[in-house]
Amino acid sequence: MSVPVPPHAALVAALRDARRSGDVTATVRAVTAVARGTHELAAWLSADKALAQVADAGWARRSLRVAVLSSHTGEQLTAALRVAAAVHGLHLTTWTSGYRLFEQEILDPGSELHAFAPEVVVILADQRELHFPELSTAPEDDLAREIDRWQHLWSLLRERTGATVVQATFVPPVDDPLGHLGLGLPGARRRQVRRLNLALAEAVGDGVHLVDAEQVALRAGAGAWFDARYWYLSKNAVGLAAVPLLAEAVADVLGAAVGLARKVIAVDLDNTLWGGVVGEDGVGGLALGDGPAGEAFVDIQRFLRALKDRGLLLAVVSKNNDADARLPFAEHPDMVLTLDDFVAFEATWDDKSAVLRRLADRLGLGLDAFVFVDDNPVERDGVRHQLPQVGVVDLPSEATGYVSALATFPGLATVGLTAEDARRTDQYRSRGRAAELAGAAGSREDFLAQLAMTARVEPLGEANRTRIVQLIGKTNQFNLTGQRPGAAELDAFVAAAGLVWGLRVADRFDDHGLVGVIVANPAATAVTAGGVPGGAREGDLVIDTWVMSCRVLQRTAEFALLAELARAARDRGFTRLVGSWVPSGRNVPARHVFAEAGFSPLGDQALPRDAAAQSAAAESPAPEEGAAATTTWWALDLASARPVDPGFVSVTTLQEAS
């Protein structure tokens, strides 16, 4: 009798075959399959070894230098984090602190941590490191000291390294000498740990993000989260069986913090949003609302609606007759989702990969922004193989597990909410109406004129700070330099006579909100991703950061913003406006903006503008952000020239910004 092969063994065998083939794409896919298919740490460590072979092969969407500061043994967790990050398209170069040296590394400016120059610092400290007694006689004082302690460490990291900080919260001890009595005692350690987590969540500032480790521990189970054998043998505070789960959670927050979160959930209908096939069973025959299965389908709809309210876009991708597919939304009393919750509704008999491509074009998003949810494994495999950029959720056979499958899928985390997030579905629906206008217009110029666009330039302030930092952090396509300054850095730029502006755009269909940010500094203080150009001189205003949301690209708002910046620069006595394009592999849409605005190249750095060159750049592997060797510099003489502005956007600039 044959012995069945454990799922993780089959995944590791596929990984081994991919490594031997030397195929980079196959290896990365095999690594991702391990990460999504098993939580066996041994399999993850094998995947990490495979990643080491393709580290410099250009497969990643982005590369990051990440320091892992752990109060306990952390090498396995760092390895697992590299694997979990690969699922998001992140390649991590890592450094891990020694046992219980995390605080010392932060406090000492000459430490290995600071020499490593991390872009992200991950802090994984066990609750044993907290200065709480088992029963405090002064709980408020003890709590205040711990809050100050961690805020101080965050501040030092942000000030000295500029790194984004991702910290796991503290999991209360399982074995408590006070037992259940501790729940009601203000000074009980278990209660103090939970109060600290909540206080830290309220105290986080710019560039600091928390991972809810207690939620991870609940998923893992108490016995897996803390295994006393590993603690006493090797000082592993997190049980080895739970390490991949914690790595997934950290990578999810990390991906969201650097702008790689998914944006669209494309869902099937039959047996995905309801039980049964509407075209065969009719609305009355669907499982929805009553019974265990019906309640489970209601819950997945509620979960999807909550994700939509948080800023994700929902789209229907169903093989169905359109009229049949819409009936439950109009007639079934237990439907939670409505047609208005979806930014697109595709009920056709077309191949689903083709439909997803069509949706990506219509919404102006990359395929890597999509997550596909379908109960049919054949449809899932088809999308997975034809569109590897799309995230595919492996739903279980029973609807009772749908919410968990979606809740734990990588790429759906967020690190902040703004008013724009809540309105995202309406904004994309307005883009659809604008696209219809474009199709009916006689020319591009007619279309732009009929949009009746208005814009407002406003300086950095308390009202727009969160949105400005968010937009800088997550924008990739129109991101000229790859710079991602946080709020503290932006404040420092303003204090040093720099300009930090946000751009709000509206048209006849919608108010798009704050969709652009431009940051410019005097040459004497400017430090950009490409360095400062050799031809920079006193009197130059250098653009440090310039990002625009994809939803307003190719509507000339970027040229209107640049014209306003040039005007303000002249008013402040600057003689030239200088900017650069630093290729990241994803920012090709921003490549020619300076040339089209009338800037002149500095030296012989300008890239050719022919279509073949653009195509080659778009298809080439993405270099690491900040690769100065291919940076192109541009300048505009403010005494003799004005930026080209087609004039389709009527701009108002707030007084403080000028």
Chain segment 573-629, per-residue pLDDT in tens:
999 999 989 887 778 888 889 999 999 988 644 333 333 233 333 333 334 333 344
- pLDDT of 285 > 50? The answer is yes
State how beta strands 391-394 and 453-459 pair. unpaired
Segment 310-327 shows an average pLDDT of: 94
C-alpha angle 379-432-347 in degrees, rounded to nearest 5: 30
Bigger pLDDT: 174 or 192?
192
Q: Compute the chain's Rg from CA coordinates.
A: 26
Residue 373 backbone phi and psi in degrees, to 5: -125, 115
Q: Give the pLDDT band (50/70/90) at residue 6.
A: low
Spatial neighbors of 178 by CB under 8 A, at least 6 apart, are: 134, 135, 185, 188, 189, 190
Q: Which of 40-44, 382-386, 481-485 has the lowest mean pLDDT?
A: 481-485
> Of 25, 405, 61, 466, which is closest to residue 258 (Cα–Cα)?
61
Bigger pLDDT: 94 or 223?
94
Q: Give the pLDDT band (50/70/90) at residue 425.
A: low
Segment 569-573 shows an average pLDDT of: 92
Q: Whole-prediction pTM value?
A: 0.76
Bigger pLDDT: 328 or 539?
328
Q: Give the pLDDT band (50/70/90) at residue 462.
A: confident
- CATH fold of 443-657, please? Aminopeptidase (3.40.630)
What are 95's two structure tokens? 């450094």
Spatial neighbors of 9 by CB under 8 A, at least 6 apart, are: none
Mean pLDDT of the chain: 86
CA torsion 73-74-76-79 (nearest 10°) is -160
Same fold? 60-257, 443-657: no
> Of 357, 429, 358, which is closest to residue 390 (Cα–Cα)?
357
Q: Is 594 exposed, middle or buried (0-12, 13-18, 19+ CB in 10 A)?
A: buried
> Of 67, 192, 70, 205, which is closest to residue 142 (Cα–Cα)?
192
Segment 27-49 shows an average pLDDT of: 92
Spatial neighbors of 621 by CB under 8 A, at least 6 apart, are: 57, 58, 59, 585
> Distance between CA atoms of 587 and 581, rounded to whole angstroms?
9
SS (H, E, C) 393-452: EECCCCHHHHHHHHHCCCCCCCCCCCHHHHCHHHHHHHHHHHHHHHHHCCCHHHHHHHHC
Q: Are 456 and 469 in contact (CB under 8 A)?
A: no
Domain ranges of the chain: 60-257, 264-407, 443-657
Q: Are 312 and 334 in contact (CB under 8 A)?
A: no
> Distance between CA atoms of 191 and 179, rounded to whole angstroms?
11
Q: Is 135 exposed, middle or buried (0-12, 13-18, 19+ CB in 10 A)?
A: middle
> Which conformational region is residue 259 in: left (phi greater than 0), alpha (psi within -120 to 50 degrees), or beta?
left
Model pLDDT, residue 531: 55
Q: Which CATH class is domain 60-257?
A: alpha beta
Q: Is 386 exposed, middle or buried (0-12, 13-18, 19+ CB in 10 A)?
A: middle
22-60: string of b/e by CB count within 10 Å (b at 16+)?
eeeebbbbbbbbbbbebbbbebbbbbbebbeebeeeebb
SS (H, E, C) 94-160: EEECCCCCHHHHHHCCCCHHHHHCCCEEEEECCHHHCCCCCECCCHHHHHHHHHHHHHHHHHHHHHH
Residue keyed to tokens 């000030």: 159
- CATH fold of 264-407, please? Rossmann fold (3.40.50)
Model pLDDT, residue 328: 96
Segment 171-180 shows an average pLDDT of: 89
Q: Are 584 and 619 in contact (CB under 8 A)?
A: no
Model pLDDT, residue 247: 97
> Which conformational region is residue 432 in: left (phi greater than 0), alpha (psi within -120 to 50 degrees), or beta?
alpha
Model pLDDT, residue 168: 96
> Of 159, 85, 149, 67, which is closest to residue 486 (Cα–Cα)?
159
Model pLDDT, residue 336: 96
Q: Amino acid identity of 401?
A: G
Q: Give the pLDDT band (50/70/90) at residue 424.
A: low
CB atoms within 10 A of CB 169: 21
